[in-house]
């Protein structure tokens, strides 16, 4: 059993990264009522921005510890540059439109981002692992852990708490909750729903970009990251129930454990483990673990 615990840390650390995508996807969906197919692209862009800035700063001889705040800075930069612009232009067009239009518009964005990444960052893979090295390792009970992985798990947990606090104890958070409950009533109460939409979307972009940035020191960046990100992020969001933040957290843990079990028993199934969990959950509960069916009033 000695190797199970490290494997679990490994699995949960990977899940933590997917959780960053899923939680943003779910948050944006619950506020804007738009499921952004291009959401995974922000993960990829966040990763590219992080390795690019990291590479420049590190090769300029900056101290190693700086590589860590750069990850957060990169995510913030990505969110600030892309969030408001994308929401104001393409996403806003789809509000209140049929779901088919929302899918097509965000899917088109996804395609455009795919090539933009290649044009800007090229097709080669990048590695920038200073942040992993600088954190070092821990020896707990004779088992070696990468501190970076433990930190990822802690950060994911912190995001759950931070979102809770933000939604229930800050002005912006309360406005978001009000808009989720009823956009029209919120507007009549003087809430600027357009700003709330923009803020929520930008937070979603930030979380996805943060996931990508945090993933980059461990696994590097290469084309195709966005597709993997949106598919896994959606799987986790759907397992938890679309729009459910705690659901996404629980789903991420389940997916992490499922991956470990797959590696342990049937290694070939490891890449498809998240989908098998999604299939099983959706067959039993079509709206996810925490989601509820909404029946049309007739």
Among 14, 31, 35, 253, binds other proteins (CB under 8 A): 35
Q: How far apart are CA 235 and CA 251, in angstroms?
A: 9
Among 10, 129, 228, 246, binds other proteins (CB under 8 A): 228
124 binds other proteins (CB under 8 A): no
Q: How far is the CB of 80 from other proteins (least distance, A)?
A: 23
Among 93, 143, 185, 195, binds other proteins (CB under 8 A): 93
Contact between 243 and 234 under an 8 Å Cβ cutoff? The reply is no
- Pairing between strand 137-140 and 143-146? antiparallel
Residue 140 or residue 272: which is nearer to other proteins going by CB?
272
292 binds other proteins (CB under 8 A): no
Count of residues that interact with other proteins, criterion CB under 8 A: 41
Q: How far apart are CA 272 and CA 262, in angstroms?
A: 9
267 binds other proteins (CB under 8 A): no
The alpha carbon of residue 261 and the mean position of all alpha carbons in its chain are separated, in whole angstroms, by 23
- Contact mark string toward other proteins, 230..249, x via CB under 8 A: xx--xx--x-----------
CB-side neighbour CA atoms (13 Å) of 214: 26
Tokens of 98: 């049929």
Residue 217 or residue 233: which is nearer to other proteins going by CB?
233
CA-nearest of 46, 53, 41, 24 to 156 is 24
95 binds other proteins (CB under 8 A): no
Contact between 48 and 74 under an 8 Å Cβ cutoff? The reply is no
Beta bridge partners of 138: 145
Q: How far is the CB of 279 from other proteins (least distance, A)?
A: 7
Cα 99 to Cα 36, 59, 200, 243, 250: the distances in Å are 11, 47, 19, 16, 27
Contact between 213 and 50 under an 8 Å Cβ cutoff? The reply is yes
Among 60, 161, 181, 298, binds other proteins (CB under 8 A): 298
Among 105, 130, 131, 221, binds other proteins (CB under 8 A): 105
161 binds other proteins (CB under 8 A): no
Chain positions contacting other proteins, by CB under 8 A: 35, 37, 90, 93, 98-105, 107-112, 114-116, 118-119, 227-228, 230-231, 234-235, 238, 271-272, 275, 278-279, 282-283, 286, 295-296, 298
């Amino acid at each position: 059993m000695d190797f199970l615990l490290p494997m679990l840390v490994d699995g949960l650390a990977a899940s933590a990264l997917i959780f960053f995508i899923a939680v943003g996807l779910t948050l944006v969906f619950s506020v804007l009522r738009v499921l952004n197919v291009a959401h995974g692209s922000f993960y990829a862009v966040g990763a590219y921005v992080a390795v690019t800035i990291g590479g420049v700063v590190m090769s300029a001889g900056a101290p190693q510890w700086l590589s860590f705040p750069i990850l957060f800075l990169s995510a913030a930069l990505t969110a600030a540059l892309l969030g408001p612009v994308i929401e104001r232009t393409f996403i806003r067009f789809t509000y209140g439109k049929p779901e088919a239009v929302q899918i097509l518009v965000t899917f088109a964005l996804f395609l455009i981002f795919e090539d933009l990444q290649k044009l800007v960052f090229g097709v080669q893979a990048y590695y920038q692992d200073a942040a992993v090295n600088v954190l070092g390792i821990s020896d707990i009970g004779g088992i070696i852990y990468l501190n970076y992985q433990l930190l990822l798990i802690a950060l994911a947990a912190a995001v759950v708490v931070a979102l809770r606090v933000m939604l229930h104890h800050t002005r912006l958070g309360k406005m978001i909750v009000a808009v989720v409950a009823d956009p029209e009533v919120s507007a009549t109460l003087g809430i600027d729903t357009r700003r709330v939409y923009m803020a929520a979307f930008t937070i979603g972009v930030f979380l996805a970009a943060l996931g990508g940035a945090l993933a980059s020191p461990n696994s590097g960046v290469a084309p195709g990251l966005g597709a993997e990100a949106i598919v896994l992020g959606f799987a986790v969001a759907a397992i938890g129930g679309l729009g459910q933040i705690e659901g996404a957290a629980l789903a991420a843990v389940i997916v992490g454990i499922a991956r470990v079990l797959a590696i342990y028993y049937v290694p070939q199934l490891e890449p498809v483990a998240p989908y098998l969990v999604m299939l099983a959950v959706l067959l039993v509960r079509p709206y996810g673990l925490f989601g509820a069916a909404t029946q049309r009033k007739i």
